Structure 1
Amino acid sequence: MENILSKIKEEFLTKFSENPFLMTIEKQAYFELPIYSKPYLFLILEGKAQLNLENGLINYEKGSYILSKIDTPKFLKVIEPPFNALVLQFSIEEIISVMIELDCNIEPNNNDEDLINNILRLVQNNNDIFLKKNITREIIYNLLTGVHGKEFINSVVKLQNADEIYDINNWIKENFKSDFSVEDLAKLNNMSVSTFHSKFKNAVGMSPIQCQKKLRLLEARRLMFDTSMNVTEAALEVGYESISQFNRDYKKLFGFAPCKDIAQILKQNI
């Protein structure tokens, strides 16, 4: 697999493409994951990165990949540079088309070798419209039957009739430290409050305010872990006014008080 990943990277040195495209980071740092209105595949070709998720810090090595969901965190941390990743977007229509053709006959397959080989074929034939279309369908099939297939399917089904929620969710990711109301968000999307609230919850699995709270807490956890901020500093930085409320919300989401949670993460990463 390592040889195939190197070949994919080499192709990008001689070809230019908007989809897929290559992302390169030369030093240890945080960077923003792409924000698109379409689902995407983020395949790591070189280096190692870390994602701050609700269930802990997850490491992604060469050959592993992230499938975007509407609640994908905003930042990824490069922990072993140089770092190269391929980003490939899909339309909802492309994914649904493959799902319909499969007619629910989706047999799980945890072998990613076919996926990586098909991505290499896509890069090599990116200027051939016919081949590109069919290879993309094969890649979608690989993803649907892969280890993250079930989550991918659920995310796509939720978004099928709620494309506009992607934009609002991205706005929340950019502005989660600010105070806003559901009424403000509904106006931004030209919807009634009840319609917007229902659509958002169906697509994201939580209310807009719950989404904001989760983003604040994830960022506070990152700040305490990476920059050694204390609890009060982190809470205020992400927009909390009440430290006691921050502590209650933090324990409810992560299962432990802030200090204990960070101590456990530090111990695991020694």
Structure 2
Amino acid sequence: MRAIDDLLTEIRGLVTVHARHDLRTPIDGLLLSRVETSAPDYSLTEPLLVVMAQGGKRLFLGDRLFEYRAGQCLVVTADLPVTGHFLDAGPRTPSLGVGLRLRPSVIAPLLLEAPVDPRSRATAGPPALATVDASPELLDATVRMLRLLDHPADAQVLAPLIEREILWRLLTGPHGGMIRQIGLADSGLSHVSRAIRWIRDNYAEPMRIADLARLAGMSPSAFHRHFRAVTAMSPLQFQKRIRLQEARSLLVARAGDVAGVGHLVGYDSPPQFTREYRRLFGAPPGQDAARLRAAAAPGDLRHLP
């Protein structure tokens, strides 16, 4: 097996060549990121593996801090609103990362073969975000997946096989319990994820904990406890974060319509919208959106969490 430094060097070179502005690649589920700024960002994740090849990132989920650097991975098993910034990123030393969507349909068949590692039992439940050192085996599989970008005729056959190999490395690693939860239809994570998806899709609507608990198949008290454990937030805090992050995106595109955007995302009171927006983003809505539009460069890349 090649040394980790050699593997990371090849990953950096391939990401530099193939990274695009929209993260996507011709290989389904494979994402690439190249970032040259350390400015704070607010994003909504999805179930994802991120391998950091250069640089690093510091993330906050609620009041929990996570940090990962080159040679480490981020594992996300639910849709989560996170705050973060890249570390020491610049034009000469961009942060480079590889993402792979974690899909239940691919993970579920592997559960029939994957042993339940005692190390995984401790992480089989929440939270839905963790960091871990990348093994040489996982990095080697990542390199082989990236090489397929130069061989599209091979990718159709070989990419699904390498995806399974990467998932197998995760399932048999220290955070295998987290990955296992994604593939199990009756896991606690899958139940809470139903409520998370409802909030994401209906963030502007009134929300009742009893209805969300029923959707998750739990009592209200159990649902509240599980939801906070997974997301590090209460359902109300989660909804508010989704509303404000969506409002921020809308305001960048709709200059001057602060009250209208506030109403679209579920705020009936403009003063309350302005107050809560400023508390999260550090400036009133109009001022923050104007700053974002002025600072946005045409070549800015979207990025992984």
Does the pair score TM above 0.5?
yes
- Taking structure 1 as reference, are residues 98 and 166 closer, same or farther at Cα in structure 2, changes over 3 Å only? farther
Task: Work out whether residues 165 and 203 of structure 1, in 8 Å CA contact, stay in contact via their aligned partners in 2.
Answer: no
Identify the residue that residue 41 of structure 2 maps to in structure 1: 31
Would you say the 8 A contact 1:40–1:88 is kept in 2? yes
SS of 2:111 mapped into structure 1? helix
Which of 200, 218, 236 is 1:170 aligned to? 200
- Give identity over the alignment, percent: 17
Aligned to 1:45: 53
What's the TM-score once normalised by structure 1's chain length?
Answer: 0.62
Q: Which has the higher contact order (CA 8 A, sep 6+)?
A: 2
For residue 110 of structure 2, what is the amino acid of its counterpart? Answer: V
1:133-172 → structure 2 map (5 Å cutoff): 133-157=160-184, 158=187, 164-171=194-201
Alignment of 1:162-241 (within 5 A): 164-171=194-201, 175=203, 180-182=206-208, 195-198=214-217, 205-206=226-227, 210-213=234-237, 237=276
Q: Is 1:4 matched with 2:4?
A: no
- Determine the structure 2 residue equivalent to 1:225: none
Distance 2:164 2:170 in 1: 10
**Displacement of 1:33:** 4.5
Return the offset for 1:41: 0.6
Per-residue deviation, residues 33-79 of structure 1 (Å, max 9, x unmatched)? 4544xx21111111121111456422211111111122644233212
Cα distance in 1 between the residues matched to 2:62 and 2:44? 20
- Helix, strand or coil for the counterpart of 1:75? strand
Structure 2 residue 39 is the aligned partner of structure 1 residue 20: no
- Give 1:97's aligned residue: 109
Equivalent pairs, count: 214
Structure 2 CA distance for partners of 1:35 and 1:49, relative to 1, 3 Å: closer
2:235 maps to amino acid:
C
Cα 1:64–1:111 change in 2 (3 A) is closer
Alignment of 1:101-120 (within 5 A): 101-102=113-114, 104-106=115-117, 112-120=135-143
DSSP-derived class of the 1:76 partner: strand
Q: Is the 8 A contact 2:54 2:95 kept in 1?
A: yes
Report how far residue 143 of structure 1 moved.
0.7
For structure 2, which runs of at least 5 residues remain unmatched after alignment? 19-24, 121-132, 242-274, 280-305
CA–CA distance in structure 2, aligned partners of residues 202 and 141 of structure 1: 30
After TM superposition, the score normalised by the length of structure 2 is: 0.56
Residue in 2 that maps onto 1:231: none
CA shift digits 1:72-98 (9 cap, x unpaired): 442332122121211111320110111
SS at match of 1:206: helix
Q: 1:130 to 1:153 in 2, by over 3 A?
A: same
1:132 maps to 2:153: no
Segments of structure 1 that go 5 or more residues without pairing to the other structure are 187-192, 218-235, 241-270
CA contact (8 A) 1:40 1:68 kept: yes
Aligned residues of 2:145 and 2:162 also touching (Cα < 8 A): yes
